[in-house]
């Protein structure tokens, strides 16, 4: 299953990622897009995560988590129009770590160098801290 939270394709290139794009053939129903409006902040983003993503995780009892941490969602990014702080990504990682399942987190997006570096550093710190490293 792929769950994506990102800026709506109505306002961001490449114009994809709408709610009705749910997968094809044998993968139908295993792609969940949650397009977000411009200007969304941490509180609303985390509420969406809590209300939609957490129940999906619980229902599917996933074996592994693969996160693509798109730092272009951070405020001040040159590409996207969201207003997240690094705390949103860090909190999502903290919630996922509670499942005690393997996790692969990769970087992606992020066109404001300083914000992107801080975001990935904070996300990595939370993972290392969880594992006692």
What is the per-residue pLDDT for 133? 75
What is the per-residue pLDDT for 125? 86
Which residue bears the tokens 């909190």? 91
pLDDT in tens, the chain (133 residues): 999 999 999 999 888 999 999 999 999 999 999 999 999 999 999 999 999 999 999 998 889 999 998 999 999 999 999 999 999 999 999 999 999 999 988 888 899 999 999 998 988 888 888 777 7
Question: Considering the entire predicted model, what is its pTM?
Answer: 0.89
Say how far apart CA 83 and CA 27 lie, in whole Å.
32
Beta strands in the chain (DSSP E): 2-7, 31-36, 65-70, 103-108
What is the per-residue pLDDT for 14? 87
Say how far apart CA 79 and CA 93 lie, in whole Å.
23
Q: What pLDDT, in 10s, does the model give residues 70-80?
A: 999 999 999 99
Contact partners, residue 118, CB within 8 Å, separation at least 6: 86
Say how far apart CA 73 and CA 98 lie, in whole Å.
24
Q: What is the CA radius of gyration of the chain?
A: 15
């Amino acid at each position: 299953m792929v769950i994506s939270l990102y800026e709506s394709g109505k306002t961001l290139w490449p114009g994809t990622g709408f709610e009705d794009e749910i997968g094809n053939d044998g993968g139908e129903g295993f792609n969940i897009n949650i397009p977000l409006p411009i200007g969304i902040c941490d509180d609303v983003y985390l509420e969406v995560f809590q209300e939609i993503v957490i129940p999906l995780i619980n229902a599917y009892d996933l074996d592994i988590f693969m996160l693509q941490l798109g730092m272009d969602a951070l405020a001040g990014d040159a590409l996207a129009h969201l207003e997240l702080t690094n705390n949103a990504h860090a909190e999502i990682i903290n919630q996922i770590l509670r499942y005690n399942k393997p996790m692969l987190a990769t970087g992606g997006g992020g066109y404001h160098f300083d914000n992107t570096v801080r975001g990935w550093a904070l996300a990595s710190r939370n993972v290392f801290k969880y594992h006692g490293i």
